[in-house]
Each structure stands twice: as structure tokens, then as C-alpha cells.
Chain A
Amino acid sequence: MSEQKIDGFELKPGFKGMASDTGSDQTMFKGVHWGKAMMWIFLLSDTFVFSCFLISYMKGRGSTIVDWPNTSEVFSLHVGGVPVPLLLIAIMTFVLITSSGTMALAVKYGYEKNRKMCGWLILATAVGGLTFVGMQVFEWSKLIHEGVRPWGNPFGASQFGSFFFMITGFHGFHVSIGVIFLFIYTYKVFAGHYESKKRGWFTKMKGDYVEIEILGLYWHFVDLVWVFIFAFFYLW
């Protein structure tokens, strides 16, 4: 990675390289696609959104007057009459992390211009995401069936339901948006829009396989956020 040049601009490694990139004209992140830079900055902003949610959750959980429900009981599934804690959530996490793997492969095949493989892998990611959302719907309906509501629940502090539905709901919303875009991009890849340089429906701009990577960044972020939600909600 040490000897690389972009249009006469020498990319140097390390801190010095960062300083010289920053001090140069035209671009700060050399060779980085606009959309990719945008997605990173959007994700930084979104990180603050989720951080605010999770910090509020910690503060809320720390200052309730009623005890917090015992999460390993609340989040358990009964398999053959035996309660197995965290079973559903383990499967959900597994599915979501796996979909991150297929997404990464889709990006690789996209850059290799392997259109078919790329398309199938995006589709697999979308299906994984959809499965996750489906299981989340199942979990919500199970909890609602057991009497958990945003304004109260039979197990303890009313904030449990409030924070749970709000934060997992907000995350599930992110996943759903991602799934919609994954399906759109599946279509675009299979239809060969990146090869034919067909202009987008709305933006009227030509696409490129870098869009798959941008979508991938979003998808990995959504996974990463899930890991934090998993840790703070289900393991704490």
C-alpha cells in the first residue's frame, strides 16, 4: 500500500500520508467515491442517533423506581416445555451476521464484474434481512401476547417495554429500509444497469458497482448496531 499514486499525487502511508492528503487540493479522501464518503459520514451521524438511544436507555434503566424485569426469563423460548433463554435472539443474531457475510461477498463479486454471483448474493442478503425482520415481528407479538406494552408490562419497570419497542423498532426500521434497497439493487444488478449505464429512476445518474459497496457499508453498520443492542438489552 506504500507506493500508490492518484493523478500525480503520491499517497504516503501513516500519519504523514493523512496530513498530506488533508493538505492537498480537490479531495481529502483520495480516490474515494462521493457516495461512499457520504455513507460513512451518514453512518457517523446515525451512530450518534443510536448512541443517544442507548445512553438514554442506560440512564432510564438506572433510575427507575421499580425493578427491571429479568431479561433472561422475558426473552426465553419454551422448547418442549423447557425455557431456553436467548434462543430466538441467538438465531436472529446469527442470521443477521450471516447476511453481513453474503453482503461482503456480493461486494467482492460486484467489483469482479461477476454480475450473476453478485445478484444472487444480494438477494441472499435481502432474504436474510427479511428473515430477521420476520423473527423480530414474532418476538414482538410474543411479548405483546405476554402483556408487554410500551406503557407497562407485568414483569417490572414500565420503561422496559418503552425502551425495548422503541430501540428495537428503530433498528428494525433500519433493517427494513436496508431490505427494500437490497431488493431494488438485486433488480438493478440482474437487469444489468451497471453494465448498460442506465440512468437511475429518480436521480437520473449513472450507477456503478461501488453502489453495492455503499449499500454494504450501511448493512454492516446495521449489523454492528444490532450487536450493541444485543449486548445492552439481552445480556445486561
Chain B
Amino acid sequence: MSDEYDNNKSYQAQSSEVLDGSAGSINPDMDYVRPAEIPEQDLYHAHSFIEKWIFCQDAKVIGVQYFLTAVFTGIVGLILSWLMRLQLGFPELAGFMTAEHYYQFVTMHGMIMVVYFLTALFLGGFGNYLIPLMVGARDMVFPYVNMLSFWMFFVAVAVLMASFFVPGGPTGAGWTLYPPQTILEGTPGSGMGILLMLISLSLFVIGFTMGGLNYMITILQARTRGMTLMRMPLTVWGIFTATVLAMLAFPALLVSAIMMTLDKVLQTSFFMPTILKAGEVLEYGGGSPILFQHLFWFFGHPEVYIVALPAFGIVSDLISVHARKNIFGYRMMVWAIVGIGGLSFFVWAHHMYVSGMNPWFGFFFATTTLIIAVPTAMKVYNWILTLWRGNIRINTVMLWCLGFIVTFVNGGITGIFLGNVSVDVPLSDTYFVIAHFHMVMGIAPLMVIMGAVYHWFPLVAGKMLHEGLGKWHFWITFLGAYSIYFPMHYLGFIGVPRRYFEMYDSPYMTSAVGMNEFISIAAFIVGAAQFILVFNIIKTLKTGKKAEQNPWKANSLEWYTSTVPPEHGNFGERLPVVHRWPYDFSVPGAKDDFIPQTTAPSEVAHTEVEKT
């Protein structure tokens, strides 16, 4: 293969910490790792089918349970989006749908996708499966609480789904649930629907808190020997920081849910101002609807990063492994994750520019919002620099990662538009906003989820997913997602408002109708394409080729378990001892192009490996 670079010129690491590669300098102490501080974990092994697969205490099974439940809700959310697109693109075919139905679908689609799908999938699914494996623990530190966490989530999902079947149907107030209209008569689902939604959210928060405590303590207090924080894969950093955010942001959601439940059930007026209805004053009075918006977005904005940070972490690992190159600027990546997490608590009111709050407030929040673009951009540069001159394998996983970078940059740039008050005001509540947040926190994290599924499926199931089907899945999804959301930016610019059932006699009736049809067709195709993955998984489980151990030649600990798929306890007799970060790829002088985290320094003393 011809290469315009001069291969003879050596690019040696300039770090002063490079080990001396000269022969004969092997120091007998160089492999020393401190003895274990923590006693061997007391694990409760399952004795029956129920204990093993249903009320299971093994984090890996819990992770899969979370994953499957979240995917189920995600499919419900997908079907709701189809119904919405049917109405928008081809209203003549959607005669069965009333405006009330449409609002209910909008609301449930939003809430399901953000909370019950993405959050549960990243933290509950990938978090449970990967954290103990990646930090070298036998299991989560509190397996019983972990099991309760999943079942609490399960009940939350059941309550949410039940709201489809109660009189009046689910709530149709929009996923932001703004009072006062949320609980007033006339809004669809203002009876049982909203009540079940609030109960379900409260249960979700309680369940998540139990899981989140597990994730945090496992990462902080149960790492294996040699595993320092700065040797953890970025996946763990992303999930960890997202968990911290969730532990501090979900309280605001819980409190606002409790207060709104009381407004609904006991006629308190926390959020309810004096309201005139058909000339009559309602019993409410004196409350503050803006207070709800502050509480909701104090949860809602960190929630965006609760979804995004695990995606950032996972994609960093996938890119590094499949480009056979260490992640560029590991420490910078870690600090960027932490910095984004910290900043995300100071930007919430940029969702409220049109709420009538003090304009100086908007000025402050615009500034913090734009500052958050700095660490985010650093991350994007680092992903690209990781790819730069890497030994890139264009497989399905890498395609999803590249798709992520493109969609994320796209959504990030429109985020800069919307972060500025003066640009946001005309664009707010238009399809531009829809396009922005679907790109940045819908499609982009979804790309990472797909990449992660193709990457870790051999570990979970011991079989390789079909590559060809995977590539079809990727290209239809990627091109289709662009066909959906790119035109929406334009729709937003011409002023098409979001959350409208139809355009009535507005000029948009003519100017937007063709584009809406196009978007709808793309949405049907993309939605259907997701079933390629379902088919692929079923086919692979039945007839797929068996995966060898560590098929991607990765370094992190989850690939070095005693069996594939890993058994309860993960690592067999002895826990692994870690000597390095998980990114030693293509080290000059090394036998293979990867050096596992467990490789002792003396074994690679002759190479130019960096000390990490």
C-alpha cells in the first residue's frame, strides 16, 4: 500500500515518562503493584432459575434486563414517532388520529426516549454490564440493591405503559409537563394519565438512585489492584460522571413530580396561578408556574448530559480500539467529561428564554451555554485526532462511531445557534429546535448505542453479529436520519411551529407539505431499518459464528475474563492486576499491536510504551 508519509522517519514519543527502552535495564521492582486493600467480595450465587434470570443479583444479567426493558420502551417510542409522522406527512391516511392523540404521542415519545430509553439504556444497561468488568470487580458492590433498582425501573415502565390504557389516555402536555395546563381539564390525559406519569417518574428516580449508588461506589471503592482512576477506560468515566449528574439532578425532578402530584390530587397551588376558566375563577391561586420550569430544567439540562456523557465515553473507547491508536489526550478527555458535567448544572435556563424571565438571566445562561461548547469541541477534536493516521478498520462499529461524530458536530453547531438569546427567540418552538436536539441527543447517542451493541455483543453472547447486515443497518439509519432531520432545520427557519397537529390555513400548508411527506417516508424507513438489528441478533444467536475471546484485540479488562461470556464473579480464581491504561495500541516495538492492561511492564520493557 502506498503511503505518502515517510515511513522511515520515526515518530518517537516525546514524553519524559517513556520507559528507557535500552536492553538489560529491567528493574525487578517495576512490576510491583500494591497488595489488595479490599477483602474478596462476598458473592451470593444463584440457586434457582428465578434467582439466576429474574431476581438476579449479577450485574451482568441486570444490565441485560435493563437493556431489554429499555429497548422495549424504545420500540414503543419509535411506533409513536411513526404515528406522529403519519399525521404530519399524510394526514389523509391518519383519519383515526385526533389532535388529542397527537399531543399524547408527542408527550409519551419524548418522555420515553429521554428517560426510559436512553438514560436506562446507558446507565442501567451499559453501566451495569461494563462497570464491574472494566474496573476489575467481581460484581457491583451492593448486588441486592442493584436487583431492586432494576425491578423498580420495571415497575416504573409498567406504570408508564399502564397510562395508555386508563380513561383519558396518557398525558398530552408535552414531555416538559409545564403547568398549569398539564393538570387542567382540556389537556389530554389530565386525569389519570398525568398522575401515572408522575408516579412513574418518581419510581424511576428511586430506582435509579439505588443503581446510581452502586455505580459510583463500585468505581470509587472497588477497583482492582493497579486500577487508578486515570487508568480507567473513558466509558467508565462517562458513565461515572453521568451518574453523579443524575444523583444531583433527579432530586429536582422528584420534587417537581411530588409537588405537581399534590397540585393535581389535593388542589394545592404550588405551580398554579389564579386561573379564569370560562369566566369562572378556579380554586387555584398564588402559585408559580415558572418555579416548575426552573425545577424541571435543573433536572432537564443535566439529563441531556446524563445521556451524552456515557456516549462520549463509549465512543472514545470504540474509536481507539477500532483505529488501533491510543485515545488522543486521555487526560484532556477525562477533564472535559468532568468539566461538561460540572457546567451542565449552570445552563438550565437556556431552555426558558421565552418564559418571560429577566433578560439579564438569559445573558448569564447564554454565556455559560457557550462556554460548555469549549470542552465539547475539545472532545470532538480529540476523536478526530485519534483517527488521524490511525490504522482504521472500517467495520460496522467504526461506521457507527464516524456517524456519531458527524451527527454530533451537526447538532452541536445548531446548539450554538440556540444558545444565543437573540437567535433562539425567533427559532424557539420551531422545527429547528426539534432538529437540533434530535441530532445531538437523539441520533448521536443512538449511533453510539448501536456501535456499542456491535462491539460488545461478542462479549455478552459469545457470538459475532453479522457484519453485512450491520453495514446495511448503519447506512440506512445514517442517511435516513439525515433525511429526517436536515430538512427540519429548514422547516424551522421558515417558521413551522413544533407540536402542531396540523398547519390549518397557514402558509406552511403549502410550503412545508412536500418536505413533511419526504421526512415522513424517511422516518418510516429508518424506523423499519432498526429491525435489521433485531433480526441480526436473533439470527446470530441461532446460527452466528462463535466469537473468539477478545475478537477486536482490545486492551480493557472486560475482554480478559475467565470465560466468554463472563460468569458470575467475572474473573475466575484471581482478580486481574492492572499495570497500564487501556489504550496501548500500536506501540512501536511491541509484538502485537495491542498491550492488554494486565501486561506487566517487564514483559514490554523493550518497547516504547508510555508509562501510564
Indicate whether A and B interact.
yes
State the A residues within 8 Å of B (CB): 6-9, 22-32, 34-35, 37-38, 41-42, 44-46, 48-49, 51-53, 56, 59-60, 63-66, 150-151, 157-159, 161-163, 166, 170, 202-206
Chain B residue at minimum C-beta to C-beta distance from A45? B247
Q: A23-B230, A27-B223, A162-B270 are in contact. Are A42 and B42 (CB under 8 A)?
A: no
Check B251 against A64 for contact (C-beta < 8 Å).
Answer: no
Of B141, B229, B269, the residue contacting A158 (CB under 8 A) is: B269
What would 16 more interface pairs be, CB under 8 Å, given A56-B295, A60-B270, A204-B44?
Answer: A8-B35, A35-B142, A37-B217, A42-B209, A42-B213, A48-B247, A49-B254, A52-B254, A59-B291, A63-B288, A150-B262, A151-B268, A158-B285, A203-B44, A203-B142, A204-B144
Check A159 against B269 for contact (C-beta < 8 Å).
Answer: yes
Of A34, A44, A204, the residue contacting B221 (CB under 8 A) is: A34
Query: What are 6 A-B pairs at a CB distance below 8 A?
Result: A45-B247, A60-B291, A158-B285, A166-B268, A203-B142, A205-B42
Of B38, B285, B291, the residue contacting A56 (CB under 8 A) is: B291
Contact string against A for B residues 286-316, beta-carbon threshold 8 Å, 1 for contact and 0 otherwise? 1110010001001000000000000000000
Residues of A within 8 A of B287 (CB): 60, 159
Check A206 against B42 for contact (C-beta < 8 Å).
Answer: yes
Within 8 Å of chain A (Cβ to Cβ): is B396? no
Check A28 against B229 for contact (C-beta < 8 Å).
Answer: yes
Within 8 Å of chain A (Cβ to Cβ): is B439? no
Within 8 Å of chain A (Cβ to Cβ): is B158? no
Residues of A within 8 A of B267 (CB): 150-151
Residues of A within 8 A of B37 (CB): 6-7, 9, 26-27, 30-31
Chain A residue at minimum C-beta to C-beta distance from B274? A65
Check B228 against A23 for contact (C-beta < 8 Å).
Answer: yes
Of A24, A28, A158, A202, the residue contacting B268 (CB under 8 A) is: A158
Q: A65-B274, A151-B266, A203-B144 are in contact. Are A26 and B251 (CB under 8 A)?
A: no
Check A7 against B35 for contact (C-beta < 8 Å).
Answer: yes
Chain A residue at minimum C-beta to C-beta distance from B223? A26
Check B221 against A8 for contact (C-beta < 8 Å).
Answer: no
Check A25 against B226 for contact (C-beta < 8 Å).
Answer: yes
Check A8 against B254 for contact (C-beta < 8 Å).
Answer: no
Check B252 against A48 for contact (C-beta < 8 Å).
Answer: yes
Q: Which of B1-38 contact A (CB under 8 A)?
A: 33-38
CB of A158, distance to nearest CB on chain B (Å) = 6
> Most chain-A CB neighbours within 10 Å: which of B37, B217, B227?
B217
CB of A86, distance to nearest CB on chain B (Å) = 25
Q: A56-B291, A205-B42 are in contact. Are A41 and B144 (CB under 8 A)?
A: no
Within 8 Å of chain A (Cβ to Cβ): is B157? no
Q: A37-B217, A204-B144 are in contact. Are A45 and B222 (CB under 8 A)?
A: no
Residues of B within 8 A of A48 (CB): 247-248, 251-252
Q: A25-B578, A150-B266, A203-B144 are in contact. Are A53 and B255 (CB under 8 A)?
A: yes
Residues of B within 8 A of A202 (CB): 144
Check A28 against B220 for contact (C-beta < 8 Å).
Answer: yes
Check A56 against B144 for contact (C-beta < 8 Å).
Answer: no
Residues of B within 8 A of A170 (CB): 258
Contact string against A for B residues 188-228, beta-carbon threshold 8 Å, 1 for contact and 0 otherwise? 00000000000000000000010011001100111111111
Within 8 Å of chain A (Cβ to Cβ): is B259? yes
Give how many B residues have a beta carbon under 8 Å from the other chain's beta carbons: 55
Please report the C-alpha to C-alpha distance between residue A64 and residue B271 in the assembled complex, in whole angstroms.
Answer: 11
Check B248 against A22 for contact (C-beta < 8 Å).
Answer: no
Of A6, A45, A162, A205, the residue contacting B262 (CB under 8 A) is: A162
The 5 A-B pairs with the shortest beta carbon distances in the complex, nearest first, are A162-B268, A48-B251, A52-B255, A203-B144, A49-B251
Please report the C-alpha to C-alpha distance between residue A162 and residue B270 in the assembled complex, in whole angstroms.
Answer: 8
Please report the C-alpha to C-alpha distance between residue A63 and residue B287 in the assembled complex, in whole angstroms.
Answer: 8
Residues of B within 8 A of A23 (CB): 228-230
Please report the C-alpha to C-alpha distance between residue A45 and residue B222 in the assembled complex, in whole angstroms.
Answer: 21
Contact string against A for B residues 314-339, beta-carbon threshold 8 Å, 1 for contact and 0 otherwise? 00000000000000000000000000
Check B288 against A60 for contact (C-beta < 8 Å).
Answer: yes
Please report the C-alpha to C-alpha distance between residue A72 and residue B365 in the assembled complex, in whole angstroms.
Answer: 40
Residues of A within 8 A of B142 (CB): 34-35, 38, 203
Please report the C-alpha to C-alpha distance between residue A44 and residue B578 in the assembled complex, in whole angstroms.
Answer: 31
Check A151 against B283 for contact (C-beta < 8 Å).
Answer: yes
Please report the C-alpha to C-alpha distance between residue A48 and residue B259 in the assembled complex, in whole angstroms.
Answer: 15
Please report the C-alpha to C-alpha distance between residue A27 and residue B38 in the assembled complex, in whole angstroms.
Answer: 8
Please report the C-alpha to C-alpha distance between residue A57 and residue B149 in the assembled complex, in whole angstroms.
Answer: 30
Check B247 against A56 for contact (C-beta < 8 Å).
Answer: no
Of B227, B248, B266, the residue contacting A45 (CB under 8 A) is: B248
CB of A13, distance to nearest CB on chain B (Å) = 19
Residues of A within 8 A of B228 (CB): 23-25
Residues of B within 8 A of A205 (CB): 42, 44, 144
Check A56 against B217 for contact (C-beta < 8 Å).
Answer: no
Of B229, B259, B298, the residue contacting A22 (CB under 8 A) is: B229
Check A25 against B227 for contact (C-beta < 8 Å).
Answer: yes
Please report the C-alpha to C-alpha distance between residue A151 and residue B264 in the assembled complex, in whole angstroms.
Answer: 11
CB of A69, distance to nearest CB on chain B (Å) = 13
Q: Which of B144-196 contact A (CB under 8 A)?
A: 144-145
Please report the C-alpha to C-alpha distance between residue A122 and residue B577 in the assembled complex, in whole angstroms.
Answer: 42
Check A158 against B252 for contact (C-beta < 8 Å).
Answer: no
Chain B residue at minimum C-beta to C-beta distance from A202? B144
Of B42, B220, B270, the residue contacting A27 (CB under 8 A) is: B220
CB of A110, distance to nearest CB on chain B (Å) = 20
Check A159 against B270 for contact (C-beta < 8 Å).
Answer: yes
CB of A63, distance to nearest CB on chain B (Å) = 5
Check A41 against B247 for contact (C-beta < 8 Å).
Answer: yes
Please report the C-alpha to C-alpha distance between residue A6 and residue B221 in the assembled complex, in whole angstroms.
Answer: 14
Q: Which of B234-287 contact A (CB under 8 A)?
A: 247-248, 250-252, 254-256, 258-259, 262, 266-270, 274, 283, 285-287
Check B38 against A26 for contact (C-beta < 8 Å).
Answer: yes
Residues of B within 8 A of A161 (CB): 268
Please report the C-alpha to C-alpha distance between residue A53 and residue B257 in the assembled complex, in whole angstroms.
Answer: 11
Check B255 against A49 for contact (C-beta < 8 Å).
Answer: yes
Residues of A within 8 A of B269 (CB): 151, 158-159, 162
Check A38 against B229 for contact (C-beta < 8 Å).
Answer: no
Please report the C-alpha to C-alpha distance between residue A26 and residue B33 in the assembled complex, in whole angstroms.
Answer: 11
Check B286 against A157 for contact (C-beta < 8 Å).
Answer: yes
Check A52 against B251 for contact (C-beta < 8 Å).
Answer: yes
Q: A25-B228, A60-B291 are in contact. Are A34 and B259 (CB under 8 A)?
A: no
Chain A residue at minimum C-beta to C-beta distance from B299? A52
